[in-house]
C-alpha cells in the first residue's frame, strides 16, 4: 500500500492525529493537503516561522501565533457545530517542539 493510500484511510477513519516523518516534507505536506482537499476538508497549515496559512493562498506571514495559541485554536475548532466542514491542520516541524519538550 502506498503511503498516500494509508494516509487517506486514516483521514477517512476520522483519525484525530497523524504524524508523518519524511525526508521530503514539502512533498509530503502537498500530497497530504491534496488528500484532505479531496475528502472535502478545510485545510490549514502552520509553522513557527510563518504562522497560520491556507494552502493555495499567499502566506500572510502572521508569525505572531505561537504554538500554544495554535493548539488552542485547533481545540476550539473541534467545538464548532457539526454542519461545518471537517478541518485538517498541517503542523510543520512541530516534532522539534515535542523532541525538545519546549514548554
Q: Which residue has the cell 516534532?
A: 95
Q: What is the CA radius of gyration of the chain?
A: 14
User: What does the pLDDT look like over 2-44, one tens digit per residue?
Assistant: 899 999 998 998 887 888 888 888 898 889 999 999 999 989 8
pTM of the predicted structure, to 2 decimals: 0.77
Beta pairing, strands 42-47 & 51-53: antiparallel
Using CA atoms, how far apart are residues 99 and 58, in angstroms rounded to an integer? 30
Using CA atoms, how far apart are residues 103 and 89, in angstroms rounded to an integer? 21
Using CA atoms, how far apart are residues 90 and 2, in angstroms rounded to an integer? 20
Higher pLDDT, 12 or 78: 12
Amino acid at each position: 500500500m502506498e503511503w498516500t493510500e494509508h494516509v487517506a484511510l486514516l483521514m477517512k477513519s476520522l483519525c484525530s492525529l497523524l504524524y508523518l516523518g519524511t525526508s521530503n516534507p514539502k512533498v509530503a505536506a502537498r500530497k497530504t493537503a491534496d488528500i484532505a482537499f479531496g475528502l472535502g476538508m478545510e485545510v490549514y497549515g502552520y509553522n513557527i516561522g510563518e504562522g497560520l496559512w491556507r494552502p493555495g493562498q499567499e502566506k500572510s506571514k502572521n508569525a505572531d501565533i505561537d504554538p500554544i495559541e495554535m493548539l488552542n485554536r485547533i481545540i476550539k475548532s473541534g467545538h464548532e457545530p457539526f454542519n461545518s466542514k471537517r478541518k485538517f491542520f498541517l503542523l510543520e516541524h512541530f516534532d522539534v517542539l515535542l523532541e525538545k519538550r519546549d514548554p
